[in-house]
Structure 1
Amino acid sequence: MAATTFLETPQGRRLAYHKSEGAGSTVVFLGGLKSDMEGTKAVHLEDWARARGQAYLRFDYSGHGESSGRFEDGCIGDWHEDTVAAVSALTEGPLIVVGSSMGGWQALLLARAMPERIAGMVTIAAAPDFTEDGYWASFTDAQKEALETVGHVELPSDYMEPYIITKRMIEDGRTRLVLRSPLNLPFPVRFLQGTADTAVSTETALRLLEHAQGSDMHLLLVKDADHRFSDGPCLGLIERAVLEVMGAA
């Protein structure tokens, strides 16, 4: 496996990444909350892109994987800055953005920040606005008080150790919401969602589909697929979706 390379961002963060050179649009994988670039989907897509001779980029947000910083110190806005820095410094030309879970929110934020660069988008269990509609909306009065007094709360996860959710993450998330104002996606988009996902509901996927504006937008619901969306059939669906938005299917 190729050695990890690092990028120093304008904000002073050190991001770990793997980049494969190739032709055509660069496929950029944006991972989920507390995930890293060594996940099944990120590595599978890299192998798939290399076999096609397609340019590809995967990286770790700050506080994730091999990048600098602590997860507890980060927020949606920091990881958006990381995404913009990585894409700006490490890619040229059109992008095919693939965002998983929180990475789906990051993909939508990237579409607002640099719509001229994006040629297509695929999201997998996209979780836009989850800090507000998921965390804050479900917090008890005691948890909300803990945010104010302690500065964070711990939330259990079905997939890894508990999440530390900070007051900063909640407050910053409110400045990054994408489902409360126009969301224009003027390029081919494929939303993928499993019906057995316990982290992101099908209702969230439908809300995103109904809210976003675009002329080539599809939602694929996969019966019994969970949040990981990383078994063989699901990986095949991701490949097919990427080909569709590239116009190669």
Structure 2
Amino acid sequence: MPDFLKTSDGHYIAYEKTDGHGALADAPTLIWCGGLKSDMEGGKATHLHTWAQARGRAFIRFDYFGHGQSSGDFIDGTMTRWAADIGRVRDRLTTGPVILIGSSMGGWAALLTAIANTPRTAGLVLINPAPDFTEKLTVAGWSEAQIKALENDGVVYEPSGYDEPYAYSKALIEDGRARQILDMPIPVTCPVRILQGYEDTVVPWTHSKRLIDMLTSKDVTYTLVAGGDHSLSRESDLRLIETAIESLSV
């Protein structure tokens, strides 16, 4: 069963946390930052939690506002809110350095969190990261009818791989437009490991590759995974993620 972190506006964030122990008890806490409409019970999140616990690494996975077992309606969420949720988890559940592991939308949220508080971020592992996806991937592919629907109805619905469709609210699109980071230097100085599926049809590798030019960090690696899709959840993919985390833990 998860624990719950109450926020200042009366909402709560569901999370599961295990503390570090043994030789790695003081290593940076690993925080899983999931993707859009995913939750902390997803395959990569639970696999990495079990993997970290077996090695004595502190690990936290949680549900954003409007996701999973946390409170709030998904349609009211924004990138600002979801990035702030990562900050709340970091600031209230940890005291030392952290490594943020961001998947898809969570990669963007993790980057925004690292920009806001660079000293606490010891490293970033970004899996098929989708910075600026609302404007550069979603709205960029909309028809004129969808753009009009956003203006008239305040929301556009699109199919998702979940029980409910994606609901792109006007607030999410406008907030995402204001929080874009790919068109300027990204002031993140910690080591960054990017894993990108070559066959990803949700976030094309040509999109995430732009991070290489924009990140100011001097320690950035970009791994293009042959045959990898958007989930990157094959056994070989999971090994790559584990290796990326370990490369930041020396």
One-letter amino acid of the structure 1 residue matched with residue 10 of structure 2: G
What TM-score do the two structures reach when normalised by structure 1? 0.95
CA contact (8 A) 1:188 1:215 kept: yes
Tell me by how many angstroms 1:36 deviates.
0.2
Tell me the distance in 2 between the aligned counterparts of 1:186 and 1:225: 28
What TM-score do the two structures reach when normalised by structure 2? 0.95
CA contact (8 A) 2:37 2:162 kept: no
Structure 1: which 4+ aligned runs deviate by more than 3 Å?
Answer: 158-161
CA contact (8 A) 1:10 1:85 kept: no
CA contact (8 A) 1:196 1:227 kept: yes
One-letter amino acid of the structure 2 residue matched with residue 230 of structure 1: S
One-letter amino acid of the structure 2 residue matched with residue 15 of structure 1: I
Secondary structure at the aligned position of 1:174 is classed as helix
Q: Match for 1:196 among 192, 196, 199? A: 199
Tell me by how many angstroms 1:184 deviates.
2.2
Tell me by how many angstroms 1:205 deviates.
1.8
Tell me the distance in 1 between the aligned counterparts of 2:10 and 2:117: 22
Tell me the distance in 2 between the aligned counterparts of 1:206 and 1:78: 25
Q: 1:101-151: per-residue Cα shift (whole Å, max 9, x none)? A: 000001100111110001111000000000010112112111111111111
Tell me the distance in 1 between the aligned counterparts of 2:206 and 2:229: 15
Secondary structure at the aligned position of 1:48 is classed as helix
Tell me the distance in 2 between the aligned counterparts of 1:192 and 1:65: 25
Runs of 5+ consecutive residues of structure 1 not aligned to the other structure: none
Q: Match for 2:13 among 15, 34, 37? A: 15
Q: RMSD of the TM alignment (CA)?
A: 1.2
CA contact (8 A) 1:61 1:82 kept: yes
CA contact (8 A) 1:125 1:200 kept: yes
Q: 1:218-243: per-residue Cα shift (whole Å, max 9, x none)? A: 00000111101111110000000000
Pairing of 1:1-249 with structure 2 (within 5 A):
3-22=1-20, 23=25, 24-158=27-161, 161-247=164-250
Runs of 5+ consecutive residues of structure 2 not aligned to the other structure: none
CA contact (8 A) 2:131 2:208 kept: no
Tell me the distance in 2 between the aligned counterparts of 1:195 and 1:207: 15
Secondary structure at the aligned position of 2:70 is classed as coil
One-letter amino acid of the structure 2 residue matched with residue 157 of structure 1: S
Q: Paired residues, what number?
A: 245
Q: Higher mean Cα deviation, 208-217 or 64-73?
A: 208-217
Tell me the distance in 2 between the aligned counterparts of 1:235 and 1:79: 25
Q: Percent identity?
A: 48
Tell me the distance in 2 between the aligned counterparts of 1:158 and 1:64: 14
Tell me the distance in 1 between the aligned counterparts of 2:142 and 2:171: 15
One-letter amino acid of the structure 1 residue matched with residue 192 of structure 2: V
One-letter amino acid of the structure 1 residue matched with residue 2 of structure 2: T
Tell me by how many angstroms 1:158 deviates.
5.0
